[in-house]
Amino acid sequence: MTLTPVTLDQAAWNTTLAALPAAHILQTWEWGEFKRVTTGWIPQRFAWQRDGRVVAMASVGVRRFGPFPLMYAPKGPALDYGDPSLVGDVLEALQTFARRSGAVWLKIDPDVVAATGVPGEPDDAPDATGSALMTVLQARGWHFSRDQVQFRNTITLDLKQPEEALLAALSQSTRRKLRIAERAGVAIREGSAADIPTLYALYEATGQRDAFLIRPAAYYEEAWRRFMDAGLAVPLIAEADGQPVAAVILFAFGRTCWYFYGMSADTARELQPNVLLQWHAIRRAQAQGYAVYDFWGAPDVFDESDRMWGVYQFKRGFHGTVTRHVGAWDYAPSAIAYAAYARALPRVRAMLRRG
């Protein structure tokens, strides 16, 4: 059945998106504007109707590499991936847009599960919808991208179960650390945009301690304030003796709450404030009616060689499900241009990330 393009304004975009399957916060109006302001990716927004109802949406960031556009729909498009005809129609519409624009590539990484569990272990279970989507993408000439922008793997927690079941599922070590924080009197409070300087100071300390690069304060000010003001993000701050010692920033949209940012001071780490923060975050998300808590990130390779192994062990203590998505896929209208881009990939990647 033919899709009809429609235009949605800012007031309608998020409300309509939230009702779609595979909706993600990186497809919201705010994320498109945040990337426009901070990195120069100009959002092009598409919505398609069928039988008078919006059934698919995509926010596609566009940026130029020399004279050629690069296109990226972060965690999009949003639609029912169990509907093969709808999948085909939306992919065709996006491919047509890329061809007519002369794009080097159009990248998508839909929020579609490819499998759950750790690869090769007893809980490893392929997902039929994700498998079917990857088959369709290959048949249509899409390439699994060598540049995976978002985390392909994560850990998710089903919030539809009772709180008592969530608590009982914690690992013995995690439960012990939770009791340590509670006995030590660590307090958790909900923050606001007024706490952004404190949050950045904690994040900067974390980056220095764990040896990862962070962007200038203005970048996080723009991201955190924009989403807090829109009611899509909230910080939780752990305090010991009245001093902030750790924090998380939760982003939420549709059915899902994401643990996007975590940070802690160099002091009071023995009081286990991070464990207490996570438990409060999970309980808060459940109380607000979200169905899924997403820990946002898990290893690419599930062994100790992966840079995320330590963080993964911490997240696993909450007994969520390892969730592996289909990942990012590239559509290249011109094989020659795509090959040239691939040769220049390290330089281009550095340029884009500097932006």
CA distance 107 to 98: 10
Exposure on the CB side of residue 183, measured as CA atoms within 13 A:
8
Q: Is the pLDDT of residue 329 over 60?
A: yes
Task: Give me the pLDDT at residue 345, please.
Answer: 66
Q: Is 149 exposed, middle or buried (0-12, 13-18, 19+ CB in 10 A)?
A: middle
Give the residue-averaged pLDDT of 125-138: 98
Segment 347-352 shows an average pLDDT of 61
> What confidence score (pLDDT) does residue 227 get?
98
**pLDDT for residue 226 is more than 80:** yes
Q: What angle do CA 181, 183, 189 make, to 5 degrees?
A: 55
The reported pLDDT for the residue numbered 212 is 85
Is 201 buried (19+), middle (13-18) or exposed (0-12) by CB count in 10 A?
Answer: middle
Which region among 3-12, 112-121, 255-264, 336-345 has the lowest average model confidence (pLDDT)? 336-345
137: left (phi over 0), alpha (psi -120 to 50) or beta: alpha
* Exposed/middle/buried for residue 228 (C-beta within 10 Å: 0-12, 13-18, 19+): buried
How many residues would you count in the chain?
355
Return d(Cα 89, Cα 96) in angstroms, integer. 11
**Distance (Å, whole) CA 329 – CA 145:** 5
Distance CA 247, CA 199 (A): 7
pLDDT at position 338: 85
Q: What is the pLDDT of residue 112?
A: 98
pLDDT (0 to 100) of residue 349: 61
Pick from 69, 142, 96: nearest CA to 331:
142
**Confidence band of 211 (pLDDT split at 50, 70, 90):** confident
Joined tokens for residue 200: 């950045």
Q: Which whole number is the average pLDDT over 245-270?
A: 97
CB atoms inside a 10 Å sphere around CB 252: 22
pLDDT band at 353 (very low <50, low <70, confident <90, very high): low
Taking residues 77-93, what's their average pLDDT? 98
Q: Which residue has the higher pLDDT, 355 or 306?
A: 306
The burial class, CB within 10 Å (0-12 / 13-18 / 19+), for 242 is exposed
Are the beta carbons of 225 and 196 closer than 8 angstroms? yes
**Straight-line distance from the first to the last Cα atom of the chain, in angstroms, rounded to the nearest whole number:** 41
User: How much is the pLDDT for 354?
Assistant: 53
Question: 186-209, pLDDT tens digit by residue?
Answer: 999 999 999 999 999 999 999 999
Domains and CATH numbers, the chain: 4-114+122-146+327-354 (3.40.630.30), 156-323 (3.40.630.30)
For residue 259, the SS3 value is strand
Q: Is the pLDDT at 237 greater than 60, yes or no?
A: yes
The rounded distance, in Å, linking the Cα atoms of 233 and 251 is: 4
Determine the Cα angle at 329 with ends 327 and 330, to 5°.
155
Residue with tokens 């556009």: 69
How far apart are the C-alpha atoms of 277 and 247, rounded to whole Å? 7
Q: Identify the residue whose tokens are 């599960």.
A: 113
- Ranking 74-88, 115-129, 168-182, 301-315 by mean pLDDT, the lowest is 301-315
Q: CA-to-CA distance for 199 and 100, rounded, in angstroms?
A: 44
DSSP letter for 23, please. -
The C-alpha atoms of residue 327 and residue 323 are separated, in whole angstroms, by 11
Distance CA 123, CA 125 (A): 6
- Using alpha carbons, list the distances in angstroms from residue 256 to 127, 156, 159, 320: 19, 10, 9, 14
